[in-house]
């Protein structure tokens, strides 16, 4: 740090914090999925951010499929660059999604990171996940969490905040 502080004096204002193990990617809004590179977490206090295009995150549908999964469809409207962080509840797994070839790719800890960007005047971002649960009663349709410990975006929607 002593080599950085003359160039970036704000580094002196950082606060050491621990990883929030119950949250995907420690609960931090990473621009890239680099949690595995970071051994210590530091927080730099800053004023609240108010994006020009605030995020609108909506669950469009939840349905149980014939093959025993639950398909959840979302719609997101927001800034041109957004990150989505996911981690299934214990006993649940992500079986498919609408990204790429439909086969979820994840970090070794079972956390998922999706980065989305678009140009000007883009339509809403629509996507879906299929979740496989050991016991359908564990899914918690009434809680709104739908088999996920947390669903976080770069701007956490209030309806999904813990």
Mean pLDDT of the chain: 75
At 137 the three-state DSSP class reads helix
> For the segment 135-162, what is each residue's pLDDT rounded down to a tens digit?
655 444 333 333 344 444 433 333 333 3
Q: How does residue 110 score in pLDDT terms, banded at 50, 70 and 90?
A: confident
Question: Phi, psi at residue 158, to the nearest 5°?
Answer: -60, -35
Task: Find out whether 74 and 58 touch, Cβ atoms under 8 Å.
Answer: yes
Task: At 157, list the tokens.
Answer: 């929607």
Tell me what pLDDT residue 34 has: 65
Tell me what pLDDT residue 150 has: 44
Tell me what pLDDT residue 128 has: 94
- What average pLDDT score do residues 45-66 get? 85
Residue 46 has pLDDT above 70, yes or no: yes
User: What CATH fold (topology level) applies to the domain 56-160?
Assistant: Immunoglobulin-like (2.60.40)
Q: How does residue 73 score in pLDDT terms, banded at 50, 70 and 90?
A: very high
Strand order of the β-sheet with 125-133 is: 56-64, 69-77, 125-133, 92-97
Residue 74 has pLDDT above 90, yes or no: yes
Tell me what pLDDT residue 159 has: 35
> For the segment 91-107, what is each residue's pLDDT rounded down to a tens digit?
788 889 999 888 887 76
Question: Phi, psi at residue 95, to the nearest 5°?
Answer: -95, -30
**Domain locations in the chain as residue ranges:** 56-160
């Amino acid at each position: 740090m002593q080599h950085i502080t003359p160039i970036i004096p704000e580094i002196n204002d950082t606060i050491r914090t621990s990883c929030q193990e119950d949250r995907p990617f420690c609960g931090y809004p990473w621009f890239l999925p680099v949690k595995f590179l970071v051994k210590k977490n530091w927080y730099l206090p800053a004023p609240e951010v108010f994006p020009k295009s605030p995020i609108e995150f909506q669950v469009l549908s939840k349905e149980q499929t014939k093959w025993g999964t639950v398909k959840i469809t979302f719609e997101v409207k927001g800034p041109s660059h957004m990150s989505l962080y996911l981690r299934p509840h214990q006993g649940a797994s992500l079986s498919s999604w609408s990204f790429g070839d439909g086969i979820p790719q994840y970090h070794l800890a079972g956390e998922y990171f999706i980065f989305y960007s678009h140009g000007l005047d883009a339509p809403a971002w629509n996507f879906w996940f299929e979740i496989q649960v050991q016991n359908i009663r564990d899914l918690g349709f009434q809680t709104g969490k739908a088999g996920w410990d947390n669903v976080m975006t770069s701007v956490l929607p209030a309806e999904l905040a813990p």
